[in-house]
Structure 1
Amino acid sequence: MSYQFSLAFLTVFDATPSEAIQIAAETGYSHVGLRLLPSGSEGLFPLMTNDHVFKETLAALQDTGVQVADIEIVRLGEQFQVSDTLAFLERGARLGAKNVLVAGDDPDEGRLTASFAAFCEAAQSFGLTADLEFMPWTQVPDIEKANRIVNNANQNNGGVLIDALHYHRAQMTVDDVATIAPKHIHYVQFCDALATYDNSTDGLIHIARQARLDPGEGEIDLVSLFRAIPQHAMLSIEVPNFEKAKLLTPKERAAQAIAGMKNVMALANSSC
């Protein structure tokens, strides 16, 4: 089986979109992930506000043949209005994106499910999936809740996004992964981390956003996770590491990350 690799936005957070695309092409990734909307309060990203950057990005995609896998990030809070995401979806469709990363922040599960369903419908009209990522510090902390929301929303393009770090921190297992319908797993984010960690919200967020390790460099059982996911799933390599960024170029980090993932896959295949 030939898997496809996507270079996640956070792995080369210090590269421009066009630079990330070129790096992906040069280091063995067929796809990239791009951020258009913020994860926090940092404001819109250039792909939403700067037409020159957008045109440069389109040109880089055409020149390299690299494709856009996922775009980030839609947050479903208490005041969520699907109309606020239409410009984002339109830009994502123009980029040829396939998937949208969605985070759940609304404590009212019924309303969160309704918001997710409404967003799925909007995303579907642009040819995009909506992939709900569970994160331990959000209102969707684990696979059980993510799966329930996606199933209750009952949308053809809905999905559950597994991030290896959150999978580990939420103490998930391959049995939990098996509860997700394979059709709901469009892509999976891989990285590594140490088994001991600060489990406060600040500690979890710190590692997630700036101190991850390359696949195979830490202590998460990535081999079992890799075996548990469907073969059609895109492999997104998401390894933000601010300390490494002081020492290595974005291209060097991208190359190391995909090499680590390929080693994990080789271990999974050799020990079957």
Structure 2
Amino acid sequence: MANQKQWFEEVTAPMTRLIFWPGSLGNRGFAAVLDAARAGGFSETAISPLTLDQMLTGGRSADSIREQAAERGVRLAEIDGVTSWAPIRYSAGMPARLRERFDLSASRILDLAQAAGADRILAAGAFERGAVGIDDLVASFASFADRAAERGLDVELEFVPFWGIPDLATAWEIVRRAERENGTLLIDTWHLLKASTDPEAALGLLPEIPGDRLTGLQLADALTTEPARSPLRCFPGEGDLPLGPLVRLLHDKGGLTHVGVEIFGEAIDGLDNAAAGIRTAAAARDTWALAQTPENS
């Protein structure tokens, strides 16, 4: 397991990196995320904007935060989960813990990304479905992407079935019509294959999307016996979702720059930080190997 980083660099395209997603550890904190990432051999991790904001406003310097990560061989590559690019940051009924996370202005998000030395920002729409028209979403995404480009940042858009950008078709329309070189998509396999109302339509659309517009991949599995909106996730390979064909398709498109596992809940809560890092790295490795396997084998 100690050689996960070397393995991943050897078997993936030159620009594809293994990323640790901090949501997998819930509220364990920044040090826990770094310890997990180091144990798994991750070259980079995402970071919650609220976590970073609280450290900076609490007196930590940006240099010390980046150095803490670098000491573990990890780089802060992505600001994870941003909604203030949109006209409405979150729905009125959103729980307080999520409102706090999402209640950072677009300007503050850009400052945080720069302080972290990140490459990109992960955007989502946490407003209620239908609360913002598609034209306004396209304009807002284009504007935010332009502001991010001024700082050398990319912006990935993730659809979340129970929020305001509920499916791949909507997310792709926003990115496509915005026509920003630094605006791309991230695919969460749980969102696409489990929580989507029409996963077959999403899978049918994917071949039409250019590879360079599909840059991020979050891996998770689920049991098909669970309700469609059940929050339960399990490690890739421990559920029933058809991950193999999806991973092969995205791999063959050649645009992915980073791949990681995002698991939260009982599947990972019982693991300590190091074990969680090792387990998520192994799951990413094993799932990525599906892309090297002929579809009918």
Class of the TM-score when normalised by the shorter of the 2 chains:
0.7 to 0.9
Identify which range, 60-69 or 144-153, moves more after superposition: 60-69
Once residues 267 and 254 of structure 1 are traced to their aligned partners in structure 2, the CA distance between those partners, rounded to angstroms, is 21
Compute the displacement of 1:48 (Å): 5.2
Partner of 2:78: 70
Q: CA deviation at 1:165?
A: 0.5
Corresponding residue number in structure 1 for 2:92: none
Does structure 1 residue 240 correspond to structure 2 residue 264? yes
Q: Quote the offset at 1:27 in angstroms.
A: 1.2
Identify the residue that residue 24 of structure 2 maps to in structure 1.
11
The reply to whether residue 87 of structure 1 matches residue 108 of structure 2 is yes
Q: Which residue number corresponds to residue 223 of structure 1?
A: 244
Question: What residue is the counterpart of 1:141 in the other structure?
Answer: 166
C-alpha separation between the residues in 2 aligned to 1:18 and 1:103? 25
Q: Is the 8 A contact 1:22 1:60 kept in 2?
A: no
What are the Cα deviations for residues 5-26 of structure 1, in whole angstroms up to 9, with x where unaligned? 1010111223322331232122
Instruction: Give the Å deviation of 1:155.
Output: 1.0
Kindly indicate whether residue 272 of structure 2 is the aligned counterpart of residue 249 of structure 1.
yes
Q: Distance in 2 between matches of 1:47 and 1:189?
A: 26
Structure 1 residue matching 2:124: 3-state secondary structure: strand
- TM-score under structure 2 length normalisation: 0.78
Residues 119-158 of structure 1 aligned to structure 2 (within 5 Å):
119-158=144-183
Pairwise CA distance, 1:78? 3.5
Distance 1:254 1:130 in 2: 26
Provide the aligned C-alpha RMSD in A.
2.4
- 1:96-152 deviation digits (Å, cap 9, x = unpaired): 212211112352111111111111111111211111111111221111111111111
| Counterpart in the other structure of 1:187 | 216
Instruction: State the TM-score, normalizing by the size of structure 1.
Output: 0.84
* CA distance in structure 1 between the partners assigned to 2:169 and 2:17 by the alignment: 27
Give the letter aligned to residue 66 of structure 1: V
- Counterpart CA distance in 1 for 2:239 and 2:20 is 19
Matched, 1:28 2:57: no
Q: Name the counterpart of 1:111.
A: 136
Secondary structure of residue in 1 paired with 2:226 = coil
Unaligned runs of 5+ in 2: 1-10, 90-103
Q: Deviations over 1:147-182 (max 9, x none)?
A: 111111111111111100111122145432222221
Checking the alignment, whether the CA contact within 8 Å between 2:66 and 2:76 is kept in structure 1 is no
User: Is contact 2:35–2:274 with CA below 8 Å preserved after alignment?
Assistant: no
1:51 and 1:182, CA in 2 relative to 1: closer, same or farther beyond 3 A? farther
The total of aligned residue pairs comes to 256
